[in-house]
Amino acid sequence: MDIHYISRPELDHPDMIAAWPGMGYIAKISADYLRRRLNARLFAEVTYFHNMLVYNKGVGELSPIKHRFYAAPSRNLIICVGDAQPSIPEESVRLAEKVVELAVDFGVKRMWTMAAYPTEYTDEPKVYGVCSGEDMKEFLGSHGIKVVDEEGVVNGLNGVVIGVAKSRGIPGACLMGDIKYANVPQHLSSRAVLIKLASILNLELDTTLLEKRARRLDASIRKRLEVFEEETDLLPLSDKRPEYIS
């Protein structure tokens, strides 16, 4: 597992964002949207392989996963976006160490990741934070991000990278957005996280497109739920599950 450099951008102790697919796809959506809006350029890759053999017509090959590093020198920012997460915990740590190795090489000053915070929110999604130290707590608070008080875990690379970065002296935080559906892209939650991240990094970022996608998706989900409820109401009484027994 090596870092392959395509070029070496000129950066001065940049911030770094690292993101992999997870619940609600918040991290992946956010990082991909940001790198496109900033016109960040690919400069390095780490190739990793799925724990499987993919075959077609009896011929098998290993399935590669790309973890790509993009640079936005005008914003002094590195964005790492991974296609998928390793299926084995030990490999997640190895990959996190490789990502942080690049961060150390470029003198990264802060590491940022994103994740989902499953709730039953009713209005606009909120953003919470888990960070690597007391100084970061104060920093997040100054940007209106509530640091989570209770105990919990951030699963996968979006959490592991923050821990590995801390061990190498790089402070960091994971910003978590409210989500309603774990397996449905949560564009509105991604937008909420990006707004906070843009404030932290002093970026001007238009998130209108994310909001439009979110509204269309929510309307589609509501329509499907209405159809499901109508079909359920049409079932014979004998096929319906009783709400109570007395």
- Read out DSSP for 76-95? TEEEEEES---SSHHHHHHH
Residue 246 has pLDDT above 50, yes or no: no
**What's this model's pTM, rounded to 2 decimal places?**
0.81
In the predicted structure, residue 220 carries a pLDDT above the cut 70: no
Other Cβ atoms within 10 Å of 217 Cβ, number: 16
55/101: higher pLDDT: 101
Q: How far apart are CA 181 and CA 159, in angstroms?
A: 20
Q: Which two tokens stand for residue 115?
A: 């994740």
Examine the pLDDT at 230 and tell me if it is beyond 70: no
Q: Is 182 a residue whose pLDDT tops 70?
A: no
Q: What is the mean pLDDT of residues 179-194?
A: 77
Q: 33 and 76 in contact (C-beta within 8 Å)?
A: no
Cα separation of 130 and 243, whole Å? 40
Per-residue pLDDT, averaged over 73-89, amounts to: 89
| Domain range list for the chain | 3-206
Contact (CB, 8 A) for 15 and 109: yes
Give the model confidence (pLDDT) of 120-153 as tens digits.
Answer: 766 778 889 999 888 888 899 888 888 888 777 7
Six-digit token string for 132: 């690597």
* Residue 207 banded pLDDT, cuts 50, 70, 90: confident
Per CATH, the number for 3-206 is 3.40.50.10900
Minimal CA–CA distance to 49: which of 84, 21, 81? 84
Predicted pLDDT at 179: 79
For the chain, give the percent of residues with pLDDT over 70: 83
CA–CA distance, 127 with 146 (Å, rounded to integer): 7
Could you give the CA distance from residue 167 to residue 186 in angstroms, rounded to a whole number? 31
Q: What angle do CA 72, 77, 83 make, to 5 degrees?
A: 85
Asked if residues 147 and 126 have their Cβ atoms less than 8 Å apart, the reply is no
Q: What is the mean pLDDT of residues 26-53?
A: 87
Q: Which residue has the higher pLDDT, 64 or 167?
A: 167
Give the per-residue pLDDT at 221: 56
Tokens of 103: 């961060």
